[in-house]
């Protein structure tokens, strides 16, 4: 796995390797710099965790404004923890003022060739995966939770980008944001069995702890899926952060017993450079 060069800000971090593309905007939010009260303190970006809706709207406004895209429509995947991929068309978005320009659809991955449309994925331990086809200028987000990963979602997204937009895997650049690391992610036998059925390389992602418990490396599992789909290893980058370890920076569903906020990974292709 390539350790990306992280560019940290208060409310978000970026990977320098993705910043090299002038018409691409991306970011992974932190938990800092928002207005939400505990246990969602402070930059919770989800309306699905019983946080105050006005606080969430303000947090979203702050995050998107920091990235200079506060007026752009945001389309989010409302995860179903399967392999549901949705292609976003213009009629599925709304150009009204913030926060009314936010739309959410049941899916685990989003793809679009549209410019100036933000694709977002909500996370609090799962891997937020951002993809950019440099040639066709197609962007995608993948929710890399264990269920979606175990059914090969990353490979499916690459395949669909090829079938619909003519994407070649060798033209795809990938950024993976903060997620729970193998240092903190302990799983049981049913989870490991699901991965063992996915790839002959599954043993490279896990470490046996005994008593039917394993440590799982979700980032590496998602990387392997993308490599098997044809994305070059030198074009896949990870932030290297563990959400569970870095309590001051990130929310973690597992660490906080489910009572916590959500972060967001997002990507957008600009129609015209700013």
Per-residue pLDDT of 114-152, as tens digits, reads: 999 999 999 999 999 999 999 999 999 999 999 999 999
Buried-state track 233-261, b at ≥16 Cβ within 10 A, e below 16? eebbbbbbbbbbbeeebbbbbebbeeebb
Q: CA 210 from chain center: how many Å?
A: 31
Confidence (pTM)? 0.95
pLDDT, residue 272, reads 63
The pLDDT of 93-106, averaged and rounded, is 68
- Residue boundaries of the structural domains of the chain: 2-269
The pLDDT of 204-230, averaged and rounded, is 93
pLDDT, residue 274, reads 44
- Lowest mean per-residue pLDDT among 20-29, 92-101, 164-173, 209-218: 92-101
The pLDDT of 192-216, averaged and rounded, is 88
Q: Give, in degrees to the nearest 5, the angle at Cα 54 between 49 and 55.
A: 65
Higher-confidence position of 274 and 216: 216
List the CATH code of the domain at 2-269.
Answer: 3.60.140.10
The pLDDT of 78-91, averaged and rounded, is 88
């Amino acid at each position: 796995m390539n350790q990306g060069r992280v560019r940290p800000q208060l409310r978000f971090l970026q990977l320098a390797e993705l910043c090299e593309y002038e018409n691409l905007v991306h970011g992974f939010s932190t938990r800092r710099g928002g207005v939400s009260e505990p246990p969602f303190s402070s930059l919770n970006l989800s309306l699905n965790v019983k946080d105050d809706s006005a606080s969430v709207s303000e947090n979203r406004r702050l995050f998107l404004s920091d990235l200079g895209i506060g007026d752009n429509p945001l389309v989010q995947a409302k995860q179903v923890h399967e392999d549901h991929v949705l292609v976003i068309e213009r009629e599925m978005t709304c150009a009204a003022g913030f926060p009314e320009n936010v739309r959410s659809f049941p899916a685990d991955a989003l793809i679009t060739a549209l410019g100036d449309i933000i694709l977002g994925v909500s996370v609090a331990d799962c891997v937020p995966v951002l993809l950019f086809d440099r040639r066709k200028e197609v962007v995608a987000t993948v929710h890399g939770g264990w269920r979606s990963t175990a059914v090969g979602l990353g490979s499916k997204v690459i395949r669909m980008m090829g079938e619909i937009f003519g994407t070649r895997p060798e033209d795809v650049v990938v950024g993976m944001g903060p997620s729970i690391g193998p240092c903190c992610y302990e799983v049981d036998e049913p989870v490991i069995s699901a991965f063992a059925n996915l790839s002959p390389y599954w043993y490279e992602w896990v470490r046996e702890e005994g008593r039917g418990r394993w440590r799982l490396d979700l980032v590496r599992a998602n990387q392997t899926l993308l490599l098997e789909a044809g994305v070059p290893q030198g074009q896949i980058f990870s932030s290297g952060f563990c959400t569970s370890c870095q309590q001051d920076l990130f929310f973690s569903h597992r660490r906080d017993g489910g009572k916590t906020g959500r972060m967001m990974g997002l990507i957008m292709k600009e129609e015209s450079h700013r």
